[in-house]
Chains A and B, each alone.
Chain A
């Protein structure tokens, strides 16, 4: 179990060192083999761990303690790993999808000058995420959490020759710091509130009753701030679209296997805590619903293929937070699971299109690629069906479960927003698909050939996207809740009759079809880039000016505050006080320097004066006067 984490870190170190010895030398085979081998080994080990966990009862936990890490009185943190069923699911898709993305990246990044560096970061990214999910205590989880932030920063800013990319990387890093700040405050409050009764997840779970309800709500909110940052929810989402500055495999890794799922995982990991405070859960679900709808609206007007996918990720993450917020953690994780497959596939397909078209990302400059890129078209079509929620593809089942929960728990507003989002999802995904593959080709440039390493992972993922949904079939659809029973999280249960379940499912399909039909009508034959000719479009195309608003309210305010601090507080107040003191000394010095004129007779006078004073003093004390 340790080796799952250690192998990616080890190979990241090895690749990094080899790269640093001679960055100029092209060692394509060495880098790609080492870089791909480590996730393969990790996947194998993760599968073994998964099977072992499967053989044990559902509440079994596996522990490995390496050493005692921090020990200050009662406060003891072990460097330890823990695996249970939730971990096993996360491990499975992180390693498997991670491996596929690594293979894909070997093809995508071929010929890049910093190929070795890229794989070193890539392995580091995966290792960090694995550390995060395998952590035995929140502190270890936080270490993984921060490492994920670091490696995402390194990878988003991978093309560091361009200043815009650096800006995007910084944005991601800083916004994640804001979230992490909330996370660490939440953890600290939790530890303080528990008064030393447990630092591992299990111990915290056992003693959670010791903490007051209001305190728990506060802790839950702070922890969720951390999740907001990592999982790109309103208001900390703005880094996610900009994170597209990185190479496409990085986007795939961030959006599918690592990073953004960390927030959902964290909430599921703390499910025992969130179950105590359902009001906080409702806030989370509301934020999720708003994020989902908001991102879907923006995605419908974007013209950059990667940005569309980025907003769709944010939208899907919103669904996941609706699920975990309403206490159905297994539905949330199930959506994470299915989403990982189709989102990785979509990104890799988009990357393939981008490579084939010589790094063109604007969908309105593509078009008619159906014939030339048949394989990419087919696999992306499956993924689009999956994300839009058309049965029997995976997205339908996971999304349907979440919508059913929102409906049956009587959160009709959330349900309404989520359903509307489902329609928009189908609309913008098919819009993208139709424009890229159907609409009339605008230019007939020769396409770049795609290497096999880039196409094979697409096929495997397409298979996954089509079938993984069947794992979570519930009773209404003739399944046995396989996934939910396996993962065994403390879910809330809501009653829903089979009839209404069918009706909801039918409504979802109908919504998806409406979205699809709309997209077909508007974009399938001829596609024109949306122009900002109405107020509404103007606002949406500019992403509701959220970046500008943030810039105005937060960045500018901070800037002005800093300027005030610099120009007035520092320059005037602090330096002013010091300057007054200094000038006092200077004046005193100018006064006294006149005494030391180097003339002997003046010195004689001083001696005389001194002696006279001394004599007077002596006379005074001896009583002579």
Chain B
């Protein structure tokens, strides 16, 4: 069993996540895309850990999974809060940091 398949899968997952973050506007989808990217990283870490016979990588993967769980709670709370502010979960509506035309 070659590690190439694992790397291919990780790259695919990461790319899908990346495109999701950049192109989708729904905050939940964005969140899911970020999770996809993280999972891809985890997969790479675990693969290398196995390849080199070094368990440090696996330990790190487990830690990251725990962190992702915590992050999920925080992120969902933030999305709920944003929804309460603007009654929408479209990320393009949260553009108050932008330079408006009149200010130029």
Contacts and interface: CB of A to CB of B under 8 A. Distances in A.
Report whether chain A binds chain B.
yes
Nearest to B24: A601
Interface string B73-104: 00000000000000000011011111100001
A601 B98 contact: no
B22 A589 contact: no
Interface string A585-598: 00001100100111
A593 B104 contact: yes
* Band of interface residues on B: 10 to 19
A535 interface: no
Contact of B97 (A598, A601, A604, A605): A598
Given A604-B21, A604-B22, A608-B18, A599 B104 contact: no
Contact of B98 (A597, A604, A608): A597
Contacts of B94: 598, 600
B61 interface: no
B43 interface: no
A601 B22 CA distance: 5
Taking chain B's interface residues, is the majority helix, strand, or loop, or is none over half, making it mixed?
loop
Interface string A45-61: 00000000000000000
B24 A598 contact: no
Given A597-B95, A601-B24, A601-B91, A590 B104 contact: yes
A509 to B, nearest CB: 90
What DSSP secondary structure best describes chain A's contact surface?
A: helix
Interface string A182-208: 000000000000000000000000000
A599 B90 CA distance: 10
B92 A605 contact: no
Nearest to A593: B99
B99 A599 contact: no
Contacts, number: 35
Interface in A570-625: 589-590, 593, 596-601, 604-605, 608
B21 A599 contact: no
Contacts of A605: 22
Contacts of B25: 601
A599 B30 CA distance: 13
B23 interface: yes
Nearest to B27: A600
A596 B98 CA distance: 6
Interface in B2-35: 18, 21-25, 30
A589 B94 CA distance: 23
A63 B9 CA distance: 108
A82 B91 CA distance: 91
A89 B22 CA distance: 100
Contacts of B98: 596-599
B91 A599 contact: yes
B11 to A, nearest CB: 14
B104 A589 contact: yes
A589 B103 CA distance: 12
A126 B94 CA distance: 81
Contact of B92 (A589, A599, A604, A608): A599
B99 A600 contact: no
A387 to B, nearest CB: 78
A148 B61 CA distance: 96
B98 to A, nearest CB: 3
Interface in A25-47: none
A601 B99 contact: no
A473 to B, nearest CB: 91
A45 to B, nearest CB: 75
Contacts of A599: 91-92, 95, 98
B90 to A, nearest CB: 10
B30 A601 contact: yes
A262 B65 CA distance: 102
A545 B24 CA distance: 87
A608 B95 CA distance: 19
Nearest to B91: A600
A596 B25 CA distance: 17
Interface of A: 589-590, 593, 596-601, 604-605, 608
28 contacts: A589-B104, A593-B99, A593-B104, A596-B97, A596-B98, A597-B98, A598-B94, A598-B95, A598-B96, A598-B97, A598-B98, A598-B99, A599-B91, A599-B92, A599-B95, A600-B30, A600-B91, A600-B94, A601-B21, A601-B22, A601-B23, A601-B25, A601-B30, A601-B91, A604-B21, A605-B22, A608-B18, A608-B22
For the complex of A and B, 3 pairs with smallest distance between CB atoms: A598-B98, A598-B95, A600-B91
Given A590-B104, A596-B97, A608-B22, 13 more contacts: A596-B99, A597-B95, A598-B95, A598-B96, A598-B99, A600-B30, A600-B91, A600-B94, A601-B21, A601-B24, A601-B25, A601-B30, A604-B22
